[in-house]
Amino acid sequence: MAAKWIEALTGSLEQKKQYKQAKARIEALPAPYRTAAEAVNRYFMYYGGVTDGDTLVQMYLDLADLWERAAVDGTPVADIVGDDPVDFAETFAKAYGGTQWIDKERARLNKAIDEAKKEQS
Protein backbone atom coordinates (compact mmCIF):
# COMPACT_ATOMS: atom_id res chain seq x y z
CA MET A 1 0.00 0.00 0.00
CA ALA A 2 2.73 2.48 0.93
CA ALA A 3 4.67 1.74 -2.27
CA LYS A 4 1.68 2.73 -4.42
CA TRP A 5 1.30 5.98 -2.49
CA ILE A 6 5.01 6.75 -2.86
CA GLU A 7 4.91 5.89 -6.56
CA ALA A 8 1.95 8.24 -7.02
CA LEU A 9 4.19 11.07 -5.81
CA THR A 10 7.59 10.09 -7.17
CA GLY A 11 6.88 7.89 -10.18
CA SER A 12 7.50 4.22 -10.77
CA LEU A 13 10.05 2.65 -8.46
CA GLU A 14 10.72 0.00 -11.13
CA GLN A 15 11.58 2.73 -13.63
CA LYS A 16 13.97 4.31 -11.15
CA LYS A 17 15.60 0.92 -10.60
CA GLN A 18 16.00 0.36 -14.35
CA TYR A 19 17.42 3.85 -14.85
CA LYS A 20 19.97 3.30 -12.07
CA GLN A 21 20.96 -0.02 -13.63
CA ALA A 22 21.50 1.63 -17.02
CA LYS A 23 23.50 4.40 -15.36
CA ALA A 24 25.67 1.80 -13.57
CA ARG A 25 26.27 0.01 -16.88
CA ILE A 26 27.44 3.28 -18.44
CA GLU A 27 29.70 4.02 -15.47
CA ALA A 28 31.31 0.58 -15.92
CA LEU A 29 32.32 1.26 -19.53
CA PRO A 30 35.96 1.87 -20.51
CA ALA A 31 36.98 5.54 -20.49
CA PRO A 32 36.32 6.73 -24.04
CA TYR A 33 32.90 5.06 -24.22
CA ARG A 34 31.93 6.09 -20.69
CA THR A 35 32.90 9.69 -21.42
CA ALA A 36 30.85 9.76 -24.62
CA ALA A 37 27.83 7.98 -23.10
CA GLU A 38 27.79 10.28 -20.07
CA ALA A 39 27.99 13.32 -22.35
CA VAL A 40 25.07 12.11 -24.47
CA ASN A 41 23.12 11.26 -21.32
CA ARG A 42 23.73 14.75 -19.95
CA TYR A 43 22.60 16.29 -23.24
CA PHE A 44 19.39 14.25 -23.06
CA MET A 45 18.64 15.82 -19.69
CA TYR A 46 18.59 19.24 -21.32
CA TYR A 47 17.41 18.45 -24.82
CA GLY A 48 15.17 15.40 -24.54
CA GLY A 49 12.48 16.65 -22.20
CA VAL A 50 10.72 13.28 -22.40
CA THR A 51 8.15 13.04 -19.61
CA ASP A 52 6.92 9.49 -20.19
CA GLY A 53 8.86 7.31 -17.76
CA ASP A 54 8.67 4.12 -19.82
CA THR A 55 9.99 5.90 -22.91
CA LEU A 56 12.76 7.63 -20.97
CA VAL A 57 13.92 4.41 -19.31
CA GLN A 58 13.92 2.55 -22.63
CA MET A 59 15.97 5.33 -24.20
CA TYR A 60 18.59 5.08 -21.45
CA LEU A 61 18.67 1.29 -21.57
CA ASP A 62 19.20 1.44 -25.33
CA LEU A 63 21.92 4.06 -24.88
CA ALA A 64 23.72 1.74 -22.45
CA ASP A 65 23.30 -1.15 -24.91
CA LEU A 66 24.73 0.93 -27.76
CA TRP A 67 27.86 1.95 -25.88
CA GLU A 68 28.41 -1.49 -24.37
CA ARG A 69 28.25 -3.04 -27.84
CA ALA A 70 30.61 -0.39 -29.22
CA ALA A 71 33.08 -1.08 -26.41
CA VAL A 72 32.94 -4.85 -26.97
CA ASP A 73 33.38 -4.45 -30.73
CA GLY A 74 36.04 -1.76 -30.35
CA THR A 75 34.04 0.62 -32.55
CA PRO A 76 35.57 4.11 -32.40
CA VAL A 77 33.43 6.76 -30.69
CA ALA A 78 33.63 8.88 -33.86
CA ASP A 79 32.03 6.06 -35.84
CA ILE A 80 29.07 6.07 -33.46
CA VAL A 81 28.40 9.80 -33.17
CA GLY A 82 29.70 10.89 -36.57
CA ASP A 83 30.89 14.42 -37.28
CA ASP A 84 28.05 16.09 -35.37
CA PRO A 85 27.50 14.72 -31.84
CA VAL A 86 24.55 17.08 -31.32
CA ASP A 87 22.79 15.73 -34.40
CA PHE A 88 23.50 12.18 -33.22
CA ALA A 89 22.03 12.82 -29.77
CA GLU A 90 18.97 14.67 -31.09
CA THR A 91 18.25 12.02 -33.73
CA PHE A 92 18.66 9.29 -31.12
CA ALA A 93 16.21 11.05 -28.77
CA LYS A 94 13.68 11.78 -31.52
CA ALA A 95 13.48 8.07 -32.32
CA TYR A 96 11.74 7.56 -28.99
CA GLY A 97 9.00 10.14 -29.36
CA GLY A 98 6.96 10.13 -26.18
CA THR A 99 5.44 13.07 -24.39
CA GLN A 100 7.79 15.98 -23.89
CA TRP A 101 7.63 18.99 -21.56
CA ILE A 102 7.20 21.30 -24.53
CA ASP A 103 3.98 19.49 -25.53
CA LYS A 104 2.25 20.91 -22.45
CA GLU A 105 3.43 24.42 -23.28
CA ARG A 106 2.36 24.07 -26.91
CA ALA A 107 -1.13 23.09 -25.77
CA ARG A 108 -1.17 25.98 -23.30
CA LEU A 109 -0.11 28.45 -26.01
CA ASN A 110 -2.75 27.17 -28.45
CA LYS A 111 -5.46 27.41 -25.79
CA ALA A 112 -4.48 30.97 -24.83
CA ILE A 113 -4.47 32.10 -28.46
CA ASP A 114 -7.86 30.45 -29.06
CA GLU A 115 -9.26 32.28 -26.03
CA ALA A 116 -7.79 35.58 -27.25
CA LYS A 117 -9.42 35.06 -30.66
CA LYS A 118 -12.79 34.35 -29.02
CA GLU A 119 -12.48 37.54 -26.95
CA GLN A 120 -12.03 39.52 -30.15
CA SER A 121 -15.09 38.01 -31.83
Domains, the chain, ordered by start: 2-120 (1.10.1900.10)
What phi and psi, each to the nearest 5 degrees, are found at residue 96? Answer: -100, -10
pTM of the predicted model as reported, rounded to 2 decimal places: 0.74
Tens digits of residue pLDDT in 8-32? 555 678 888 999 999 999 999 999 9
Spatial distance between the Cα atoms of 67 and 62, rounded to a whole number of angstroms: 9
pLDDT at residue 102 in the model: 73
